[in-house]
C-alpha cells in the first residue's frame, strides 16, 4: 500500500476489469477483458521464449495495434523491461535507442525492420517481426500473472530528443500503476468510457491512455491517424467519450466542421505537452460543450504533476491547477525553502510518481533527480523540473517559464509563454512561438513566429502587443510561417524553429 492505494505489478492491470466487457477494439479486432488477458499471457510467453536474462530490455517499433498495446504489460510479465520506440522515428534515432538501452531484442513491423542498416543493431540484439508476435498471441503457450516486486524496473521511455540525444527515463511498476490509478481517479473514468488512443505509446501520456482506461474497466481504441478528420470519424464511429491530445492536435481539430451529434459524444478532453491558450480553450468549450476539459502539466521524469479541474477552467484558464493524486508539488527558492504566495520559484515534484533516473546516465540524472527539499513529506529523490511557477493564495499553480527558455533582454527575464499567449489572442493567429535572438546591445531581443495564412495578421499582432505588453517585451520582428515543425509526439519543435529562425 502507498498512500492508501494497493500497488500491484503492472501486468495485473487487466485482471481488474469485468471479464465480459470490451477492453480493446480496433482495425485488428476486438477483445473483452478475459480474451485480452489470455492474449497478454500468450504474448508474454512468446517473449519468455527468447531465453533472455531477467531485466533484459526489449524494444518495440510498430504502429498501434494489439501487439503495441500489450507490450507494456507483456514484457514485464515475462520479467523483461519494455522499451517502446516511437513509430515515426527513423533508423538512426532507433539505432541510438537500441544501443543506449542495451536492447537484447526488438520486435518491429517488417517494413520498419527492413530500414535498419549495418551498424544500426547492436551485436547480440535479436530482431523479431510483429507478424510472429501476432501469430503467437492467437494461439501460443501463455504464462500467468507475474510475481514481480512493484519496485522492479518495468519500462524505459525515451524522450523525444528535440533538445539533444534522447535519454531513457526508468519507470517501475509502482510508477506506472499509481499513474494509472491517479489519472483514472481525477478524470472520473468508468467502465462505460471509450478512450481514443491517438498519442504514441512511447510517450508517457500516450501509454497512460491505455493504463488509466484499463484500470477503470473501460475500452481503448488505438488509432494511427493520417489527418485530424480520421480522429473525428473515430469519435463518431465508436462513440468515443475520452480524447487526450497536445495543443497542436487541438488546433487542428478545432479547424474541422464537427457535426453537433458527434461532438456531443465526447465527455472529457485532456491536454498535456504544452499549455492551452485562452482562445483555444474558448474554441474547445464552444465546440464540445458537453465535454469536461482537463488542462494538465507533466514531465516524463515524474509522469504528471498537476491538473486543473474542469470547474475552474473558465475562471482560471491560465492555471496549471493543483497536484494530482500521489504527487507532492513544491515551489522553492534556489536555497530549497518554500516560496510565498505569488512568489516565483522552481517546481519540484516529490513522491512515488518520481522516476528512477536516466538509464545509464548518472551525470544527467544527478542534474535533474536530486534530494527532495526539506519541506517534502516524502523525502528521497525528487525531480527538479527547471520550470519556474508561482502558487497563488488558493493553492493554484501558474506557469512562468523554463529557466533554459527564458529570454534575457536588457536585464529583464521574459517568459516566451506570456508573449505567445498575448499573440494567440489575436484573430487569425493559429499558433505562436517567441524566441530569444542575439542582440549586441540588449543581449537578446524577441523574435515572434506566427503560424497563419493572412499577412495582415502581423500588423494586428504588433498593435495588440503594444497595448498589452511592456516595452521590454515587444518583439524586434514578427515572422509569418505557413507551418511549424513537429516532433514525434506532435508537439511544436521549438529547437528546429530556433535553429532555422534564431540568431
Beta strands in 392-491 (DSSP E): 397-402, 407-409, 412-414, 431-439, 443-451, 477-481
Radius of gyration of the chain (CA): 23
Can you say whether residue 63 is alpha, beta or left, with left for phi > 0 and alpha for psi between -120 and 50 degrees? beta
pLDDT computed for residue 489 by the predictor:
75
pLDDT computed for residue 472 by the predictor:
78
pLDDT computed for residue 413 by the predictor:
64
* Segments in 375-502 forming alpha helices (H): 416-424, 456-468, 494-501
Interacting residues of 216 by C-beta distance below 8 A, sequence separation 6+ = 184, 189, 190, 191, 193
Q: Looking at domain 11-176, what is its CATH homologous superfamily?
A: ANL, N-terminal domain (3.40.50.12780)
Burial of 73 (0-12, 13-18, 19+ CB in 10 A): buried
pLDDT computed for residue 452 by the predictor:
86
* Mean local confidence (pLDDT), 94-119: 95
Instruction: Answer with the residue of higher pLDDT: 89 or 423.
Output: 423
Asked if 266 contacts 290 with a C-beta cutoff of 8 angstroms, the reply is yes
Burial of 304 (0-12, 13-18, 19+ CB in 10 A): buried
For the record, the C-alpha cell of 76 comes out as: 514485464
CATH T-level assignment (fold) for domain 405-501: GMP Synthetase; Chain A, domain 3 (3.30.300)
H helix and E strand count, the chain: 15, 25
Place of cell 530549497: 336
Residue 209 has pLDDT above 90, yes or no: yes
* Mean local confidence (pLDDT), 429-450: 88
pLDDT confidence bin for 341, thresholds 50/70/90? very high
Asked if 223 contacts 168 with a C-beta cutoff of 8 angstroms, the reply is no
pLDDT computed for residue 503 by the predictor:
63
pLDDT confidence bin for 279, thresholds 50/70/90? confident
Beta strands in 182-263 (DSSP E): 194-197, 219-222, 242-245
Place of cell 514531465: 299
Beta strands in 119-179 (DSSP E): 126-129, 153-158, 168-172
CA 441 to chain centroid? 39
Interacting residues of 271 by C-beta distance below 8 A, sequence separation 6+ = 244, 245, 246, 247, 250, 293, 294, 295, 296
CA 97 to chain centroid? 18
* Mean local confidence (pLDDT), 231-240: 97
In this structure, how many other beta carbons lie within 10 angstroms of the beta carbon of residue 430? 21
Instruction: Answer with the residue of higher pLDDT: 251 or 184.
Output: 184
pLDDT confidence bin for 403, thresholds 50/70/90? low
* Mean local confidence (pLDDT), 143-171: 86
Kindly list the domain boundaries of the chain, sorted by start residue: 11-176, 405-501
pLDDT computed for residue 441 by the predictor:
67
Helix/strand/coil (H/E/C) assignment for every residue in 92-117: HHHHHHHHHHCCCEEEECHHHHCCCC
* Mean local confidence (pLDDT), 33-39: 98
Burial of 20 (0-12, 13-18, 19+ CB in 10 A): exposed
Residue 160 has pLDDT above 60, yes or no: no
Backbone angles phi, psi at 382, to 5 degrees: -130, 160
Burial of 479 (0-12, 13-18, 19+ CB in 10 A): middle
pLDDT confidence bin for 24, thresholds 50/70/90? very high
Backbone angles phi, psi at 146, to 5 degrees: -80, 165
Asked if 490 contacts 273 with a C-beta cutoff of 8 angstroms, the reply is yes
Asked if 32 contacts 21 with a C-beta cutoff of 8 angstroms, the reply is yes
As a whole number of angstroms, the distance between CA 493 and CA 312 comes to 30
Residue 204 has pLDDT above 70, yes or no: yes
Element (H, E) at 411: none
Q: Which of 37-51, 54-68, 111-125, 440-454 has the lowest mean pLDDT?
A: 440-454
CA dihedral angle for residue 380, residue 327, residue 334, residue 362, rounded to 10 degrees: 50
Residue 52 has pLDDT above 90, yes or no: yes
pLDDT confidence bin for 163, thresholds 50/70/90? very low
pLDDT computed for residue 411 by the predictor:
61
pLDDT, the chain, mean: 93
End-to-end CA separation in angstroms for the chain: 53
Amino acid at each position: 500500500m502507498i498512500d492508501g492505494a494497493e500497488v500491484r505489478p503492472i501486468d495485473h492491470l487487466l485482471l481488474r476489469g469485468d471479464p465480459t466487457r470490451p477492453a480493446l477494439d480496433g482495425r485488428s479486432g476486438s477483445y473483452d477483458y478475459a480474451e485480452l488477458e489470455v492474449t497478454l499471457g500468450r504474448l508474454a510467453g512468446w517473449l519468455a521464449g527468447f531465453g533472455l536474462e531477467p531485466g533484459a530490455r526489449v524494444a518495440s517499433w510498430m504502429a498501434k495495434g494489439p501487439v503495441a498495446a500489450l507490450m507494456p504489460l507483456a514484457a514485464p510479465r515475462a520479467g523483461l523491461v519494455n522499451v517502446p520506440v516511437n513509430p515515426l522515428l527513423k533508423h538512426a534515432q532507433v539505432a541510438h535507442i537500441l544501443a543506449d538501452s542495451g536492447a537484447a531484442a526488438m520486435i518491429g513491423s517488417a517494413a520498419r525492420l527492413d530500414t535498419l542498416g549495418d551498424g544500426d543493431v547492436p551485436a547480440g540484439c535479436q530482431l523479431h517481426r510483429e507478424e510472429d508476435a501476432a501469430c503467437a498471441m492467437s494461439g501460443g503457450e501463455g504464462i500467468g500473472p507475474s510475481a514481480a516486486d512493484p519496485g522492479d524496473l518495468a519500462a524505459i521511455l525515451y524522450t523525444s530528443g528535440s533538445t539533444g540525444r534522447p535519454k531513457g527515463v526508468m519507470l517501475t511498476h509502482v510508477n506506472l500503476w499509481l499513474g494509472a490509478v491517479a489519472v483514472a481517479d481525477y478524470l472520473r473514468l468508468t467502465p462505460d468510457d471509450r478512450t481514443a488512443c491517438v498519442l504514441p505509446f512511447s510517450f508517457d501520456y500516450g501509454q497512460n491512455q491505455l493504463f488509466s482506461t484499463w484500470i477503470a474497466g473501460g475500452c481503448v481504441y488505438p488509432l494511427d491517424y493520417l489527418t485530424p478528420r480520421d480522429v473525428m470519424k473515430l469519435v463518431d464511429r465508436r462513440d468515443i467519450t475520452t480524447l487526450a491530445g497536445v495543443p497542436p492536435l487541438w488546433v487542428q481539430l478545432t479547424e474541422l466542421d464537427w457535426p453537433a451529434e458527434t461532438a456531443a459524444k465526447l465527455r472529457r478532453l485532456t491536454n498535456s505537452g504544452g499549455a492551452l491558450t485562452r482562445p483555444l480553450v474558448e474554441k474547445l468549450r464552444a465546440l464540445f460543450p458537453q465535454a469536461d476539459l482537463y488542462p494538465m502539466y507533466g514531465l516524463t521524469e515524474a509522469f504528471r504533476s498537476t491538473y486543473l479541474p474542469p470547474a475552474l477552467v473558465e475562471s482560471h484558464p491560465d492555471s496549471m491547477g493543483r497536484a494530482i493524486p500521489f504527487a507532492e508539488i513544491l515551489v522553492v527558492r534556489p536555497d530549497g525553502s518554500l516560496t510565498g504566495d505569488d512568489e516565483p520559484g522552481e517546481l519540484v515534484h516529490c513522491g512515488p510518481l518520481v522516476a528512477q533516473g536516466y538509464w545509464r546516465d548518472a551525470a544527467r540524472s544527478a542534474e535533474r533527480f536530486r534530494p527532495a527539499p526539506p519541506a517534502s513529506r516524502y523525502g528521497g529523490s525528487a525531480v527538479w523540473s527547471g520550470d519556474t511557477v508561482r502558487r497563488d493564495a488558493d493553492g493554484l499553480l501558474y506557469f512562468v517559464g523554463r529557466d533554459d527558455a527564458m529570454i534575457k533582454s536588457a536585464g529583464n527575464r521574459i517568459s516566451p509563454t506570456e508573449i505567445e499567449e498575448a499573440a494567440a489572442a489575436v484573430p487569425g493567429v493559429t499558433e505562436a512561438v517567441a524566441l530569444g535572438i542575439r542582440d549586441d546591445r540588449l543581449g537578446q531581443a524577441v523574435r515572434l513566429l506566427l503560424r497563419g495564412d493572412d499577412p495582415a495578421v502581423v500588423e494586428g499582432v504588433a498593435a495588440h502587443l503594444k497595448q498589452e505588453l511592456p516595452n521590454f517585451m515587444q518583439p524586434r520582428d514578427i515572422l509569418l510561417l505557413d507551418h511549424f515543425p513537429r516532433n514525434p509526439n506532435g508537439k511544436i519543435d521549438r529547437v528546429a524553429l530556433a535553429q532555422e529562425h534564431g540568431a
